[in-house]
Amino acid sequence: MIVGAPSLRAQLERLLTALGVPGVQSSIIADNLVEADLRGVDSHGAHLMELYAGRVRSGHLRPVTTVTTLDDQGSTVRLDGGIGFGQVAGVAAVDLAVERAHEHGVATVSVREITHVGALGYYTMRAAEGGCFALAFQNGGTIVPPFGGTTGLFSTNPFSYAVPAGRHADIVYDIATTAAAGNKILLARKRGDASIPEGWANDDDGRPTTDPQRASISQMQWFGGHKGFGIGLLVEIMAGLLADSSFGTREHSASELTGWDRLAKGATFVALDVARFLPVDEFRARVDELIDDVHASALAPGAERILVPGELEAERRVQRLEQGIPLSDALVDELDAIAASLDCPPLTRS
């Protein structure tokens, strides 16, 4: 099913509003999800509505997000997301980080009691548009064992950075530090995929599998083995410990809504004002030159082109804005079921 971005965004806003999310906050969340679908990051797009609706209905996710300040020292700020929607707290945090970076040169904003924020690249891109080089980290539930272990201690621990460019699209690096995001396995199941790539996950007994039905969300594997684990551990420190949030097996939350898939996650956003080092236009031009050098590299056997992080997603966004976003029939049925339960009209197929 091909759906236009405006139709999908309007439907997601309608569903969120029906769940009790205020209008402005509904717009932020819907924009985050639609941008993921536009860029082809389907695991973090409209697919997440069922998860969010279930958590609101069960009382594990507050529909109205209240972000409060715990500590403000100028270039460093600690916030509390109130177990509301992570997208709302995430936007508040990264926008504050950019504002303070322009004031101090560099700024770090951490958030405790935050929930799933969607695709992290959404936030670093937002900072890059504001002339900042940005980093983002988030930890989560105990579903990934340490390298060499089988006991879940970490989340997929996503990490993102974005760098402002000029005539080229901004560089946007957005990854799970596991070989794949857990939502990619869930989406593969929803689509009815026959297999997933090797190295994504093990089964419940710790044995490698390519069967999405047997793949265990609690046995995700690190990309690059011990190297990915090392970066995942950095994310745990930046997003969990630094944000004064849950980490490892330690639930550390002031909320009563804990212990359920670790809703009380932590996140940290770092923004650096590039104008403190070079004029912004000159910096963007140099990033373009670096991208040109990458593109000009001699191709390895079998390679068709060389891309920088975020380039393919930027191209896909242009294409999907023109041609629409492809949604599986199962996902459309899922969204329509949520709509029916909320007395909302079904998704418009245009």
From residue 200, how far is each of 92, 145, 150, 175, 195 by CA, in Å? Answer: 33, 13, 15, 13, 11
Instruction: Report yes or no on 192 lying in a domain.
Output: no
The reply to whether 347 falls in a domain is no
CATH code, 76: 3.30.1370.60
- Is 300 inside a domain boundary? no
pLDDT reported for residue 258 = 47
Does residue 214 form part of some domain?
Answer: no
Q: Which amino acid is at 22?
A: P
- Report the distance separating Cα 207 and Cα 266, nearest Å: 30
The kind and range of the H/E element at 112 are strand 106-114
Number of domain units in the chain: 1
Residue 217 resides in a domain = no
Q: Is residue 118 part of a domain?
A: yes
Residue 350 lies in a domain: no
Residue ranges of the alpha helices (H) in the chain?
5-18, 23-38, 49-58, 86-104, 121-129, 182-191, 226-235, 280-295, 311-323, 329-341
In a domain, 207, yes or no: no
DSSP 260: S
- Give first-to-last CA distance, the chain, whole Å: 9
Report in angstroms the alpha-carbon separations of 242 from 72, 88, 108, 111: 14, 20, 10, 9
- Written as tens digits, the pLDDT of the chain (350 aa) is 999 999 999 999 999 999 999 999 999 999 999 999 999 999 999 999 999 999 999 888 999 999 999 999 999 999 999 999 999 999 999 999 999 999 999 999 999 999 999 999 999 999 999 999 999 999 988 888 898 888 888 999 999 999 999 999 999 999 999 988 777 888 888 788 989 988 888 887 778 889 989 888 777 889 998 999 999 999 999 999 999 988 888 876 655 554 444 567 899 999 999 999 999 999 999 999 999 999 999 999 999 999 999 999 999 999 999 999 999 999 999 999 999 999 999 998 75
Q: Which domain holds residue 153?
A: 2-178+222-287+310-341
Amino acid found at 255: S
What Å distances lie between residue 236 and 139, 273, 274, CA to CA?
6, 25, 27
